[in-house]
């Protein structure tokens, strides 16, 4: 069985400064949605927006297009649910009139994605927002921060894959940050085995890619006997292979990445299953206004007290209203002490405190959805914490 080595090649990835603050849809006056809170972290931004003229730390003028870096220095309490909100020193949100004027002027949305050019996330961003300016970010965290700090207008990030399962990091970041899900997009993923010119399959000893991509090509890579090395993203692996001129290593990445970085395609469609689809979330600073004239989906997260049948009772609030659940994901509640029975003989914890992420097919404009969440939250017998992550149009198309 082939081994897997986790490594992170040094890639020069950057996030460009915005030319202007753009689209921001009106917020919904709905108690389940939570506005941006006062941040409990220190952010270092090594540039300024296009409207700023100088920055003494950099010896004068910041030119258009200069790269920035987001460094999270401290995050003491990412799960402080009941912290009181306070006004943020942010630019004025755009009005509907602003949006109409910008549309007539052909203004482009700046959309953050994780990875470098040629990443599947870039394709998803362009599918979600045609004619957008896709902005690469080194990490998922950076994309979240870029939206919150008004450096970009949206983010498009993967949340689950039909073969590899959930991207747990982004589930955790959805709770850590105060962005809203405003849409989803599904993208068919077709992996290629790439290498430098002159390199043949039999020359390869190892292959680099994102852990999800490596998992999705498990059978092919095992047959080839290649050592798998996990890196931050698929296109980043292709870039590293090309720039390092490696002769014994290949990359699992997209056909677009092969063209961008000048690599040969040794094999196409190497994923284990042809039905390989990744679902991406579209994130914004403000929620959109839910509607009932088209299919909508709503994503929520909640925690429960421990007890027999508690989860069953919590999910029953949807079943009794004929609301279909499309996904449920449980994640350990970080920054919380494990609960231990006082009379436990062995001293091992009885259970972890969990969070439950649930997607269901209904709009928050639907009275059934409001009643279900009201039952879950206000009844007090089920949820100890509840937050709506977004109510947004469903994506039934795959491209």
CATH number for 357: 3.30.70.260
**pLDDT confidence of 334, banded at 50, 70, 90?**
low
- Is residue 28 a part of any domain in this protein? no
Residues 117, 177 within the same domain: yes
- Token readout for 64 is 């258009």
Residues 361, 296 within the same domain: yes
From the list 33, 140, 144, 280, the catalytic residue is 280
* Among candidate residues 163, 188, 213, the one where a domain is terminated: 188
pLDDT at 170: 94
- Pairwise CA distance, residues 388 & 298, whole Å: 8
pLDDT at 373: 93
pLDDT at 242: 96
- Is residue 14 a part of any domain in this protein? no
Residues 339, 382 within the same domain: yes
Residues 264, 347 within the same domain: no
pLDDT tens digits for range 261-276:
999 999 999 999 888 9
Residues 198, 174 within the same domain: no
From the list 234, 278, 298, 302, the catalytic residue is 278
pLDDT at 309: 86
Q: Residue 321 above 60 pLDDT?
A: yes
Residues 260, 214 within the same domain: yes
- Is residue 50 a part of any domain in this protein? no
Average pLDDT value for residue range 353-363:
93
**pLDDT confidence of 377, banded at 50, 70, 90?**
confident
- Pairwise CA distance, residues 190 & 194, whole Å: 13
Average pLDDT value for residue range 290-299:
94
Average pLDDT value for residue range 127-139:
93
pLDDT at 132: 94
Give 273 or 398, the one with higher predicted confidence.
273
* Among candidate residues 188, 219, 239, the one where a domain is terminated: 188
- Report the b/e string of 32-70 with b at 16+ CB within 10 A: bbeebeeeeeeeebebbbbeeeeeeeeeeebeeebebeb
pLDDT at 133: 94
Average pLDDT value for residue range 182-206:
95
Residues 296, 336 within the same domain: yes
Q: Is 312 a catalytic residue?
A: no
**Number of structural domains, the chain?**
3
Q: Is 155 helix (H, G, I), strand (E, B) or coil?
A: strand
- Is residue 202 a part of any domain in this protein? yes
pLDDT at 198: 94
- Token readout for 272 is 């284990």
Candidate from 209-213, 281-285, 357-361 with smallest mean pLDDT: 209-213
Cβ neighbors of 141 (< 8 A, separation 6 or more) are: 70, 72, 173
pTM for this one? Answer: 0.70
**pLDDT confidence of 354, banded at 50, 70, 90?**
confident
Average pLDDT for the chain:
76
Average pLDDT value for residue range 198-214:
93
- Is residue 66 a part of any domain in this protein? no
Closest CA to 330 of 298, 360, 302, 310: 302
Q: Residue 294 above 50 pLDDT?
A: yes
Candidate from 84-88, 168-172, 207-211 with smallest mean pLDDT: 84-88
pLDDT at 332: 84
**pLDDT confidence of 325, banded at 50, 70, 90?**
very high
Q: Residue 137 above 60 pLDDT?
A: yes
Residues 183, 195 within the same domain: no
Q: Residue 361 above 90 pLDDT?
A: yes
pLDDT at 380: 57
Name the one residue in this structure whose structure tokens are 């002490």: 337
- Pairwise CA distance, residues 64 & 80, whole Å: 37
**pLDDT confidence of 249, banded at 50, 70, 90?**
very high
pLDDT at 267: 95
- Is residue 146 a part of any domain in this protein? yes
pLDDT tens digits for range 26-73:
333 344 544 444 433 333 333 333 333 333 333 333 333 333 333 332
pLDDT at 24: 38
Q: Residue 92 above 50 pLDDT?
A: no
Q: Is 280 a catalytic residue?
A: yes
Residue 351 exposed, middle or buried by CB count within 10 Å (0-12, 13-18, 19+): exposed
Share of the chain above pLDDT 90, in %: 54
pLDDT tens digits for range 28-40:
334 454 444 443 3
* Among candidate residues 188, 205, 220, the one where a domain is terminated: 188
Range of the domain at 257: 191-270
**pLDDT confidence of 97, banded at 50, 70, 90?**
very low
> What is the CATH classification number for the domain harbouring 148?
3.40.190.10
């Amino acid at each position: 069985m082939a081994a897997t080595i986790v490594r992170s090649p040094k890639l020069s990835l950057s996030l460009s400064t915005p030319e202007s603050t753009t689209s921001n849809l009106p917020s919904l006056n709905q108690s389940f949605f939570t506005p941006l809170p006062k941040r409990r972290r220190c952010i270092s931004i090594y540039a300024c927006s296009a409207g700023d003229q100088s920055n003494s730390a950099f010896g004068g003028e910041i030119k258009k297009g200069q790269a920035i870096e987001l460094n999270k220095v401290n995050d003491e309490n990412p799960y402080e649910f009941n912290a009181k909100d306070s006004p943020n020193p942010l630019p004025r949100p755009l009005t509907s009139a602003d949006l109409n004027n910008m549309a007539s002027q052909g203004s482009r949305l700046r959309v953050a994605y994780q990875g470098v050019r040629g990443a599947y996330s870039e394709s998803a961003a362009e599918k979600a927002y045609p004619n957008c300016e896709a902005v690469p970010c080194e990490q998922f965290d950076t994309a979240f921060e870029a939206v919150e700090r008004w450096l970009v207008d949206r983010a498009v990030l993967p949340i689950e894959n039909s073969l590899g399962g959930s991207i747990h990091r982004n589930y955790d970041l959805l709770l850590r940050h105060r962005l809203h899900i405003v849409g989803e997009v599904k993208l068919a993923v077709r992996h290629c085995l790439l290498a430098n010119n002159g390199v043949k399959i039999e020359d390869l000893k190892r292959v680099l890619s994102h852990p999800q991509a490596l998992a999705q090509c498990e059978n092919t890579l095992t047959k080839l006997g290649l050592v798998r090395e996990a890196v931050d993203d698929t296109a980043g692996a292709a870039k590293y292979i090309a720039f390092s001129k490696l002769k014994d290593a290949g990359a699992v990445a997209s056909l677009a990445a092969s063209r961008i970085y000048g690599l040969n395609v040794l094999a196409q469609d190497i994923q284990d299953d042809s039905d390989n689809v990744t679902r991406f979330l579209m994130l914004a600073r403000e929620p959109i206004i839910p509607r009932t004239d088209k299919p909508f989906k709503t994503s929520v997260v909640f925690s429960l007290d421990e007890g027999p049948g508690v989860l069953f009772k919590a999910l029953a609030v949807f079943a009794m209203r004929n609301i279909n659940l499309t996904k449920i994901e449980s994640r350990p509640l970080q920054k919380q002490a494990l609960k231990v029975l006082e009379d436990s003989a062995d001293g091992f914890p009885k259970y972890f405190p969990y969070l439950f992420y649930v997607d269901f097919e209904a709009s928050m404009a639907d009275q059934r959805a409001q009643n279900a969440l009201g039952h879950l939250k206000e009844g007090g017998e089920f949820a100890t914490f509840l937050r709506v992550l977004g109510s947004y149009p469903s994506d039934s198309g795959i491209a």
